[in-house]
Amino acid sequence: MTILGTSVAVERAKSRRPINEDMTAVTLVEFPRIVYYKLFLVAELYFLSEMTLLAHRLQLDLLR
């Protein structure tokens, strides 16, 4: 089981490579636009809670 960090996820998105490893919810908060990336095929998100989902929504709102 490989858990991908935020910097690797950003690098893969920039180079348009697929992301199919597991990931922590921290990456979802640090890189909120990842949910719009077409090759974002994460199997499982670890440490996902209501607070991290709220933080993710706030981050997306700040990007607008």
Find the largest Cα–Cα distance for the chain: 35
* pLDDT tens for each residue of 22-34: 999 999 999 999 9
Go through the chain and tell me how many residues it has: 64
pLDDT at 42: 84
37-50: pLDDT as tens digits: 999 998 788 988 99
pLDDT score recorded for residue 61: 96
Cα separation of 61 and 41, whole Å?
Answer: 23
Average per-residue pLDDT for the chain = 93
Predicted confidence at residue 40, as pLDDT, reads: 93
Confidence of residue 59 (pLDDT cuts 50, 70, 90): very high
